[in-house]
Structures are given as C-alpha cells and as structure tokens.
Amino acid sequence: MSSNYFRPSDVEVEGTEHLELYQFGDKDVNHFFCRTCGIFPFSTVASVPPDYQGAARPGDYRINLGCVHDLDVFSLAIEVINGKAL
C-alpha cells in the first residue's frame, strides 16, 4: 500500500463495476475489493474525527501499488512502517 494519501483529483480508477465495498467496525475507511479475484486495489477515507490532525482527508486514496499500470514496484525504495506504534 502507498504510504502517502492521494487526492481524488490525482487518481484515475478503472473497472469500478468489478469492485465491492467493505467497511470494518468504525467505517472510517472504505476498503475496495475485486469481486472476481479478491485483490484489494485501494481504500478511501470515509471520515476523520473532528480533532484529527493527520494528512488524510475524506475522499483521499491509499493505493495498492501493485495495481498501478506500468509501475515496477520492485524498483521502489521500501519504507517500513511500524503500524503498532501509530
């Protein structure tokens, strides 16, 4: 997954008719999955708490970089994120 958030105007999504939406517990994030193969191509921010100071805004995307056309993910620098510490 991308470590950065992307604004909707910076993202072009193809094949939305094949996607299914899933929301976990608090429903703050929209998780999209392919109905055919189950891949998780991206998520979007559904909402943020009023006191949230982070980078994400409703509508922003986090993208499975393996789903980006013509992107060699093996050429990217790896950024390890300790999610437990967030």
Given a cut of 80, whether residue 72 has pLDDT beyond it is yes
> Considering the entire predicted model, what is its pTM?
0.83
Phi/psi for 49 (5° steps) reads -65, 150
Given a cut of 80, whether residue 67 has pLDDT beyond it is yes
Phi/psi for 74 (5° steps) reads -75, -10
- pLDDT for 5 equals 95
Distinct helix (H) and strand (E) counts, the chain: 0, 4
Domains of the chain: 8-85 (2.170.150.70)
Given a cut of 80, whether residue 83 has pLDDT beyond it is no
**Averaged pLDDT, 17-31:** 95
Given a cut of 80, whether residue 33 has pLDDT beyond it is yes
Q: Could you give the percent of the chain with pLDDT greater than 70? A: 99
Q: How far, in Å, CA of 73 to CA of 79, rounded? A: 12
What DSSP designation does 6 have? B
- pLDDT for 1 equals 87
